[in-house]
Structure 1
Amino acid sequence: MNATPAETTGPILRTLSGLRFSKGHGTGNDFVLVADPEGVRAIGADQAAALCDRHRGIGADGLIRAVPSRFLPEGRELLTEAPDAEWFMDYRNADGSLSEMCGNGVRVFVHFLRTEGLIDLPDGGSLTIGTRGGVKTVVRTGDGYAVDMGPWEFIFPGEASAKAMDSLVTADGLEVARPALSVSMGNPHTVVALAELSELTGTRLFTAPKVDPVPANGTNVEFVVPAEPLVHDGVGSVTMRVHERGVGETQSCGTGACAAAVAIRHWAGAEAPDAWRVHVPGGVVGVKFFAGPGGHEHVELSGPAVIVASGTLS
C-alpha cells in the first residue's frame, strides 16, 4: 500500500474525529497509540496509514491499538495458552498493513498502558501481553523495559547452518550484492554484515533493498557493522541501520536489533558472548540470550520507552 493520497487523507481522518491518541517512541522508533479498552474502535488499514502520514497525519512508523485480548480472534486464541495475557498489541505498519509485532513497540505499548492507568506495573514487575507474534513477557526496569522476545530461528535453517549465509541483498550505495542471513524473531529479518562504518552511512535506504530469495511474507533488512574489537568487557557491540517492511528506514527496530545480534553472534562462533549492545540511529538497545522453556534459546530486548504527547483528533 502506498502513502495515503492528499485528496483522501482528510476524509479518512475525519472518520476518526474525536479519537484520543498518544505519540511515543523507543529509541526513535515512533508510534501513534490508541487505547480501546472496550474493543469498539477498530482502526482499518487506510485509517492507520492516514494517522501515520508524516505530512498530513500525526506521523509515525506504526500504529498501536491497546485492546483487551478477548475482543480479537488472535487474542482469544492466545488466552487459551496464556490466560494472564489480558492486553493485546494490535499493530499496523505505517502503510496500514498488519504486522506480527515490534520489539520497540512492545516497550512503548506497555509504557502507554501504564501512563493511561490501564495497568499497575511496579519497578521489577512483569506483564504478559498478546501480539500477532505470540505471547510476550515484559519486565519494568527502572526507566525502561526488558522484553522476552521468545525463541529465534533461522528462516532457511538448513542453508544457514551449512553455509552461514542464505541470500543476497542488493541496495543503493553498495556496489555489489552482499551475502546475508535470514532470521525470524516472530517476524522476518535479513541481516547483512558490512566491514566499515563508511559503508553503512553510504548505503541509501530510500528504497527497499532487494533480497534473493526473499522470505515468504517479505522481510526487514538490517545492515550491521561489528565493533572493533567486537567484544569489550564480555559484551558484544554492533552498529545497525534498518529498512522495515511497509515503513522504510526507521531510527530503530527492536526485533531487527535482536536479529542482528543473532547473526553476528552466529558468524563470530562458539566464543561469542550472550550480551550485546546494538547502536541504532535513535540510541542504544540491549540484547541478551538465555535458555528458555523446552531447551529453546530466547532473546531479551531492553531499552527505554517514552510518551511525548497526547491529544484528540479534530
Structure 2
Amino acid sequence: MTTEPNALPPTPLSGLAFAKGHGTGNDFVLVADPDGTLFLAPEQVAVLCDRHQGIGGDGLIRAVRSSALPEGNALLAVNPRAEWFMDYRNGDGSVSEMCGNGVRVFVHFLIEEGLVELAEGEALTIGTRAGAKTVARAANGYAVDMGPWEFIHPARAEERALDSLVETDGLEVARPALSVSMGNPHTVVALSEASELEQADLHHAPRVDPVPDHGTNVEYVVPAEPLVTGGVGSIRMRVHERGVGETQSCGTGACAAVVATRHWAGETPADRWEVQVPGGTVGVRFIPAPDGAEHVELSGPAVLVARGSLV
C-alpha cells in the first residue's frame, strides 16, 4: 500500500544538491536529507525525474533518518537498527513501498555521502515502507534480503491457476498472468518466444483485469531453454512499472518474475537464478529465514554517475 507525505509547504528546489545513480539501468535522483527538513511535492518530484525538462530518472530517493518520519519511527520500534530510511518516489511523484534496485543504489549513496561505513562482507539494515531490509556489500555490488514473497491471490495460485488477464499493446490477445507481492504488487506474464518479448509495446500501461487494489507492476518473462543449467535458472524480462512506464530494470519485479516462473515450472532444483533485463543482469536467490518463511535475495551492481546542484 502506498502512503502520501504530509501536506507541508514544498521546499524551494534552488540550490538542492543531488546525485544521479542507477542499478542495471534503473535510474534515480538521490538527495540527502538526514534530519528530514526537506519536503518535495509530487509535482516537484515529477519535474526532477522528467527526462526532458529535469534531471531524469525512474524515481527519486531521499535519504533520511528513520527517526524523522512517522513510518520510520514505527519501524524503529520493532527494528532499532534501521537508522536510515529510503523514502522512495516513483517518477510521477507518487509514493511507493519498495524498489529493489533502488535499495542497492541507496546504500551505495549513503556510503559515498559518508553517512555510513560498510566494508565488503558487512551488512546494513535500512528502513523502507515495505519493512526493514538487510543489505550486504559484496565484491560486485550489493545483495539485499528482500524478505518473504507471497501470492496476491494465494488460493488460486495453490491450484496453479492464473489470477488475471493482461492486455498489452503489440500482443494480439490478452495473456494470463500470476500476481506476486514483494512488499509491492507485481503481475507476471509468461511469453513463449523472445519475439513476443520484443513485440510488446510498453509505452502505454498494460490493462490488467482484475488489477490489484493499489495498481501493479507488470513483468513479461521468457524462460531460457533449458530453464535450468548447472543448477542456475535463467529468464529474460521486461517490465512496465506503475507510475513510471517501462524501465531498464526492476529489482522487485525480477524477484516476482522468478517466483512465478519457479511456480509454473513445478519441481526444480534451482534456488539461484539470473534475470536478464535490458539494463544488465541481476541475481535472485531463495534463502531460508529465521521466521520460517522463504525469503528472496536480490543481488547486483549500484553506480553513481553524477553529482550537482539545482539552479
Kindly indicate whether residue 57 of structure 2 is the aligned counterpart of residue 60 of structure 1: yes
Kindly indicate whether residue 97 of structure 2 is the aligned counterpart of residue 96 of structure 1: no
Deviates most, 269-278 or 217-226: 269-278
Residue of structure 2 equivalent to 1:194: 191
- CA deviation map 1:99-147 (0-9, x unaligned): 0010000000000000001000000000000000111000000130000
- CA deviation map 1:4-62 (0-9, x unaligned): xxxxxxxx999200000000000000000000112111222111111001100000000
Residue of structure 2 equivalent to 1:7: none
Q: 2:275 aligns with which of 267, 271, 278?
A: 278
How far apart are the structure 2 equivalents of 1:13 and 1:135? 28
How far apart are the structure 1 equivalents of 2:30 and 2:301? 16
Shift of 1:272: 4.3
How far apart are the structure 2 equivalents of 1:130 and 1:13? 24
How far apart are the structure 2 equivalents of 1:273 and 1:143? 22
How far apart are the structure 2 equivalents of 1:223 and 1:131? 26
Q: Verify the 8 A CA contact 2:60 2:89 in the aligned structure 1.
A: yes
Equivalent position SS for 1:288: strand
Q: Verify the 8 A CA contact 2:254 2:284 in the aligned structure 1.
A: yes
Question: Could you list the runs of 5+ residues in structure 2 that have no partner in the other structure?
Answer: 1-8
Identity %: 71
Shift of 1:271: 2.1
TM-score for the superposition, normalised by structure 2:
0.96
Residue of structure 2 equivalent to 1:138: 135
- CA deviation map 1:160-190 (0-9, x unaligned): 1113311111001111111100000000000
Q: 1:18 aligns with which of 12, 15, 18?
A: 15
Residue of structure 2 equivalent to 1:244: 241
Q: Verify the 8 A CA contact 1:62 1:93 in the aligned structure 2.
A: yes
Question: Could you list the runs of 5+ residues in structure 1 that have no partner in the other structure?
Answer: 1-11
Kindly indicate whether residue 37 of structure 2 is the aligned counterpart of residue 40 of structure 1: yes
Residue of structure 2 equivalent to 1:116: 113
Shift of 1:270: 1.8
Aligned pairs (5 A) from 1:1-314 = 15-314=12-311
How far apart are the structure 2 equivalents of 1:236 and 1:257? 12
Q: Verify the 8 A CA contact 1:205 1:243 in the aligned structure 2.
A: yes
TM-score for the superposition, normalised by structure 1:
0.95
Q: Give the aligned residue type for 2:29.
A: V
Q: Verify the 8 A CA contact 1:164 1:267 in the aligned structure 2.
A: no
Q: Verify the 8 A CA contact 2:177 2:188 in the aligned structure 1.
A: yes
Q: Cα RMSD between the aligned structures?
A: 1.2
How far apart are the structure 2 equivalents of 1:49 and 1:15? 14
Q: Verify the 8 A CA contact 2:100 2:252 in the aligned structure 1.
A: yes
